Amino acid sequence: MYAYLGKDLVETMKAYKVFIAGGTITSLFTNKEINDIDIYFRCEEDAVGFLVDVWEDKGYVVSHTKKATQLMMYGDGESINIQLIHFNYFNSATEIFERFDFTSCMGCFDFEKEEFILHDDFLKHNAQRVLKFNSATAYPIVSLLRVKKYEEKGFRISKPEFIRIALTCMNLNINTYEELKDHLGGMYGINYDKLFEDVNDEEFDLQEAVDKIADIALSEDYFIKPTPVEFKDLDELAENISTKPKKYMNANDTHVIVDYRGLLRTVEKVPENKVEIDPNTYFDTVKFYKYVKKVDGKYKSFYEKSFEYIIGETVVAKESDSRWASDHAGKLHFSEKKEIRNAEYSNKDGAALIEVKINKEDFVEADDGHILAKKCFVIREVPKEEYESFTTNKRISEDDELMSIFGGKFKFQ
């Protein structure tokens, strides 16, 4: 398996302690070709972090739904199709198996322990090519569809086992078209959404749903590709994956969230699912940073050599003149602590890092760790040995950081 994945991808999977489970493991143990890799995560932060890492490496997104994101990875050899499963998160292989429908796919590899975990009947039922059903599976309707798929692979199912699937389906409590679509779509990868587009807002009628399925001419292709969720860039994709309430504040009539990396970002509208944080508390607590040129004990701007930052004083942005471009006029540029390693001028000769405080009323906007403000109070020069510790790749919990600022008090809405 490590040879198939390649060194870089294996190391990334180890870093995020992922699970590979399902068809990949079955293919390995039955000497069949691997079609795709299903990756499960322990928490949302790991799912988003893994996505960011592989996106920036050699991957691109093929499709994205609310349940899974499919990427194509290119290594030294052939391309690898991977599915990031993010409809739920799991602490163990056993928890993943509880969602699966057949014992023959209850195989897992845990990258934290670097070991295979197999259901007690996994090897036996794969060797016998028989299907044994897990009645606790989340989507038994999909299990009925998968029976045909497994039979084409040489598996067989007994009549009692098939009846168990049918009776489990009868026990489902489906009261809306959205719930029915969820069960028809299963965990990921199959799309029945178009079936009920014209009746979504109507009162649920199971008989009408049955008739619509019977009347429509369905091709195999119709069921293969899930309806994608559109996204513009990596930030928006990561936010789509996140189901947690967005940390939100209103600063000077500007909508600001704390994004998946723990960085401030201005957005166009208030998130529907949000945790409201106090902007005064935030800006009173958090410090910002900037590389400047230190000459004879003075701290000068690299961009505008005549502009000086004076420790212990408030510095106001310079208005437009013949030297300053319009996008710099009236704005000072800073970096957040987590993004100091990407800050402008960090590698310039004579560069020194200053720490500043920005009041809420002086904040302008933020994006990708980059902060704009009308003025700031210059606190100090940060010693090199201190700011070098800022730039390590240590993963910092956004929740822990905000809890330290707000004392664990959030307003949920």
What pTM, to 2 d.p., does this model score? 0.69
pLDDT at 412: 43
Q: What CATH number does the domain located at 2-224 have?
A: 3.30.460.10
CA distance 104 to 124: 8
pLDDT, tens digit only, all 413 positions of the chain: 998 898 888 999 999 999 999 999 999 999 999 988 999 999 998 998 898 888 766 667 877 877 888 888 875 557 888 999 998 999 999 999 999 999 999 999 999 999 999 999 999 999 999 999 999 988 898 898 889 889 988 999 999 999 999 999 998 888 888 788 777 765 444 455 556 666 666 788 888 777 776 655 444 444 444 454 556 677 777 777 877 788 999 999 999 999 877 889 998 889 888 899 999 999 999 999 999 999 999 999 998 888 999 999 999 998 754 444 555 568 999 999 988 888 888 888 889 999 999 999 999 999 888 999 999 999 999 998 888 887 554 444 556 666 666 665 554 44
Q: Which amino acid appears at position 228 of this protein?
A: P
Dihedral sign for Cα 224, 230, 233, 235, please.
Answer: negative
Beta strands in 253-344 (DSSP E): 254-258, 264-267, 274-276, 288-295, 298-300, 308-309, 314-316, 332-335
Q: Where are the domains of the chain?
A: 2-224, 245-412
CA distance 344 to 186: 47
pLDDT at 188: 47
Both tokens of residue 128? 């016998």
Total number of residues shown for the chain: 413
